[in-house]
């Protein structure tokens, strides 16, 4: 699975990237919402199976980035998983959310990967598995 990982905290981004890579997935890191958009379009919108983003980013928020990608012709099908430090607030607003799924920031990396695999599986007919 090819993951676009967007987080402005280099430590968190590195931990998630290492975890996803150790489980057999390709990760492209972006340090901001703007960087995420640039990488999404320069690398190729059909390359990514899923976008995983923090909702709170410096400059452009994860929601703003997701809206720009989702409302473009090329981004309409890619699932976007949001990791939220204010889960209760973001989850309540989820009925009309631009995100495919919102998860709390304190959830385990393994659970996040499981959700990524499920969501990417809906958009493509691939056989996906997590290395345990």
Using pLDDT thresholds of 50, 70 and 90, give the confidence band for residue 8: very high
Per-domain residue ranges for the chain?
2-123
Using DSSP, state whether 125 is helix, strand or coil.
coil
Task: With cut-offs at 50, 70 and 90, classify the pLDDT of residue 6.
Answer: very high
Architecture (CATH level 2) of domain 2-123: 3-Layer(aba) Sandwich (3.40)
pLDDT of 44 reads: 81
The distance from CA 85 to its chain's CA centroid, rounded to whole angstroms, is 15
pLDDT tens string 61-103: 998 999 999 888 766 688 999 888 776 665 554 556 788 888 8
Which run of H or of E encompasses 2? strand 2-6
Query: Across the chain, which distance is largest between two alpha carbons, in Å?
Result: 37
């Amino acid at each position: 699975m090819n993951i676009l990982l967007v987080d402005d905290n280099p430590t968190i981004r590195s931990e998630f990237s290492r975890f996803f890579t150790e489980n057999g997935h390709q990760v492209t890191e972006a340090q901001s919402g703007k960087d995420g958009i640039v990488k999404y379009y320069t690398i190729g919108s059909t390359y990514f199976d899923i976008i995983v983003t923090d909702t709170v980013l410096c400059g452009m928020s994860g929601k703003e980035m997701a809206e720009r990608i989702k409302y473009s012709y090329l981004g309409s099908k890619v699932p976007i998983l949001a990791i939220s430090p204010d889960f209760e607030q973001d989850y309540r607003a989820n009925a009309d959310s631009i995100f495919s799924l919102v998860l709390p920031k304190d959830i385990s990396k393994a659970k996040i990967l499981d959700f990524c695999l499920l969501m990417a599986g809906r958009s493509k007919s691939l056989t996906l598995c997590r290395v345990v």
